[in-house]
Structure 1
Amino acid sequence: MRKGEKTKQHIIIKSAELFNKKGYAGSSMQDIINVTGLTKGGIYRRFSGKDEIAIEAFQYSGNKLKEMFVEAANKEHTALKKIIAICSVHMDTVNNPPIVGGCPLLNTAVESDDAYPSLRQHTVGAFEDFTSFIQTILNEGIKSGEFRKEMDTESVASFIVSALEGGVMASNLMKENKHVEVVITQLKVLLHAYQKRE
């Protein structure tokens, strides 16, 4: 990787942590300069402004989290266990979040309203990708005979993602992981109900 590319990646990584902690609106270009240790010119040589940095930083964080989900899922051999493993990436969201500052999807979704249309568009895409990933696993579970065919995988996938993000939000708000734990427990109950009975 060339020096210019390394510098750009450094800006993205440090900005991702900054935005995930302070939010997009709460972070200024001066904050980016401070966390990267670069000059204003050093930033603007590589990015047109905060909007461009925010989008690339969000994509970086999202990709890192997705890698963790895929790695967790690949360690399991049933659809149910894969989904629980994915959700368990957030098990210690209060003390040890998978990404510095918490879940980038949740944090950005809360902030990316009509004031930031381009950021909102990327957040919607990330939500759809996550839901599609879960739905693919559910469909594989049906195909393998683990789950019954009448499962509406689209709605169940949407419920799983929404419940998990809600649990992460509640745990972070209350500073206790029990809300994520409750969500995972209830998702197990839901998915067991869809399993085929011998």
Structure 2
Amino acid sequence: MNTLSKAERTRQFIIETTAGIFNTKGYSGTSMSDITDATGLTKGSIYGNFENKEEVALAVFDHNYGKISQDIYQRNSQAKTYYDKLMVYSKVYHSFTRGAFPQGGCPVLNTAIEADDTNPLLKDKAAKAVLKWKRGIMNLIQGGIDAGEFKSGVDQNRVALSIIALIEGGTMIAKVTDAPVNMDTILHTVSILIDQLKV
């Protein structure tokens, strides 16, 4: 039984239908006619559910980022060791360079690049996603230290930021060069970095 109201279902439809458009064209490049054409709804109907285009873009970011977070969470919950849990990030982003990623690529990377100087609200969404990701990696490293898998005295902040920078940089390079093999090379470096944590 669907417990969402009609308005909530309409909002969700707009978000899901425009998710790939915003993630491909960006906030500035996505027009209201792109939204109405994709959804088949009138401008009035869009504005009846969202205050403005920016509010749609913010909801779309949450949707796209949520898809990645959910995939990572599911894989992490199945991983047996902290080493395997850290390697999940490489596996998720490796698979996403080959078509399973949200349409348009990594929403964190796309939003961060577009919104850093132009849209404070979207920039804040991307920044919070990166900081949450960093905390997640640091928690896994600490868990690995506590479990005796990883060396103590690891600079968790440095390792976490390095993993994120390699993965996001690799995503950008693979996308701009149309060569997923470049991502493989960079993810190999991520594996080396994680291997170095082991006791």
TM-score by length of 1: 0.94
1:100 maps to 103
2:52 maps to 49
1:187 maps to 190
The amino acid across from 2:27 in the alignment is: Y
Runs of 4+ in 1 over 4 A off after TM superposition: none
Q: Distance in 2 between matches of 1:35 and 1:86?
A: 32
Q: Distance in 1 between matches of 2:126 and 2:99?
A: 23
5+ long unaligned stretches in structure 2: none
Give identity over the alignment, percent: 32
Given that 2:90 and 2:190 are in contact with CA atoms closer than 8 Å, whether structure 1 keeps it comes out as: no
Structure 1 residue 79 displacement after superposition = 1.6
Q: 1:155 aligns with which of 158, 161, 166?
A: 158
- Aligned pair 1:123/2:129, yes or no? no
- Aligned pair 1:87/2:90, yes or no? yes
Q: Which moved more, 1:76-85 or 1:90-99?
A: 90-99
1:92-128 Cα distance to aligned partner (Å, 9 max, x none) = 4443132122111011111012221111111111111
1:13-38 Cα distance to aligned partner (Å, 9 max, x none) = 12221111111111111111111110
Given that 1:90 and 1:97 are in contact with CA atoms closer than 8 Å, whether structure 2 keeps it comes out as: no
- Helix, strand or coil at the partner of 1:23: helix
1:177 maps to 180
Give 1:22-33 correspondences, 5 Å limit. Answer: 22-33=25-36
Distance 1:120 1:153, change over 3 A: same
Q: Which moved more, 1:35-44 or 1:174-183?
A: 174-183
2:142 maps to 139
TM-score by length of 2: 0.94
Given that 1:94 and 1:176 are in contact with CA atoms closer than 8 Å, whether structure 2 keeps it comes out as: no
1:10-67 Cα distance to aligned partner (Å, 9 max, x none) = 1111222111111111111111111111011110101111111111110111111100
Q: Distance in 1 between matches of 2:131 and 2:60?
A: 18
Given that 1:93 and 1:172 are in contact with CA atoms closer than 8 Å, whether structure 2 keeps it comes out as: no
- Aligned pair 1:16/2:19, yes or no? yes
Structure showing the higher helix proportion among its residues: 2
Q: Distance in 1 between matches of 2:149 and 2:14?
A: 45
5+ long unaligned stretches in structure 1: none
Structure 1 residue 4 displacement after superposition = 1.3
Q: Distance in 1 between matches of 2:47 and 2:196?
A: 54
2:41 maps to 38
Q: Distance in 2 between matches of 1:165 and 1:37?
A: 34
Q: Which moved more, 1:180-189 or 1:129-138?
A: 180-189
